[in-house]
């Protein structure tokens, strides 16, 4: 069932690439950049999963966790079919990609072992970091490219993009760049730089926002989990 599960996950991710692209095109002009960014983010998950890159399963599961958080909105506003569909399909992506059989196609494949020579501890740390990045990069996009974004927001996004590239290539600078991006977003969301940046998420071009306000920056602060995942080996290295 690994092939069928992967095909279904790709179908869902492809749907959201199209959905966010259409929302960017049909929605208000001020959300164009943010939703184009989301479409690109989902496109990275789609292409990586289809190409069987070793990190792609983790990243796609992280993106699935991002969307599954929409189910928490139901607790606030009550049952809403669109919210349930979005949250449920994202949760399904994470479920479809779980398991050792799926891992054997990605991080535990022979190609990955021959090229990267990961130790099991390093693989576990990288898995945790990439999944955290996949869950929070969409929030960083909403925070940085939302209405009234400024140079600080774009700097955080640039750090996030560089950091994600470095992390997916197993480079140390990626960990610190993602942490810096998360720190900027979190401090902005807390009002450390003045009025917090407002970001919001529409689930359809004409629908009500599922996320609104400085919460996008606060949730993007979750990128700080990436350097935290590596805190122990970093401290061990510095102490030697």
pLDDT in tens, 218-237: 899 999 999 998 888 878 77
Question: pLDDT-based confidence at 200, cuts 50/70/90?
Answer: low
SS3 call for 152: helix
State which of 28-32, 158-162, 170-174, 228-232 shows the largest mean pLDDT. Answer: 158-162
80 within 8 A of 74, measured Cβ to Cβ? yes
pLDDT of 88 over the 80 cut:
yes
Average pLDDT over residues 70-98: 87
How many CB atoms neighbour CB 228 within 10 A? Answer: 16
72 within 8 A of 86, measured Cβ to Cβ? no
| pLDDT tens-digit series, residues 132-159 | 999 999 999 989 987 766 889 999 999 9
**In sequence order, which residues have a C-beta less than 8 Å from that of residue 130 and are 6 or more positions away?**
55, 58, 59, 62, 167, 168
């Amino acid at each position: 069932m690994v092939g069928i599960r992967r095909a279904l996950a790709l179908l869902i991710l492809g749907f959201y690439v199209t959905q966010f692209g259409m929302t960017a095109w049909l929605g208000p002009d001020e959300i164009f950049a943010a939703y184009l960014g989301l479409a690109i983010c989902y496109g990275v998950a789609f292409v990586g999963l289809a190409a069987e890159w070793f990190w792609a399963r983790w990243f796609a599961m992280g993106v699935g966790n991002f969307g599954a958080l929409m189910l928490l909105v139901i607790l606030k506003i009550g049952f809403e079919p669109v919210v349930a569909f979005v949250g449920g399909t994202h949760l399904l992506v994470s479920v479809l990609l779980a398991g050792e059989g799926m891992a054997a196609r990605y991080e535990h494949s022979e190609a990955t072992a021959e090229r990267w020579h990961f130790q099991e501890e390093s693989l576990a740390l990288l898995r945790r970091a990439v999944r955290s990045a996949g869950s929070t990069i969409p929030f960083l996009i909403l925070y940085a490219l939302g209405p009234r974004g400024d140079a600080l927001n774009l700097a955080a996004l640039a750090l996030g993009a560089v950091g994600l590239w470095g992390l997916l290539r197993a480079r140390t600078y990626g960990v610190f760049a993602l942490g810096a991006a998360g720190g900027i977003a979190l401090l902005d969301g807390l009002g450390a730089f003045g009025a917090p940046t407002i970001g919001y998420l529409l689930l359809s071009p004409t629908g009500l926002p599922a996320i609104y306000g400085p919460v996008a920056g606060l949730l993007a602060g979750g990128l700080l989990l990436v350097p935290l995942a590596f805190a122990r080996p970093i401290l061990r290295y510095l102490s030697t």
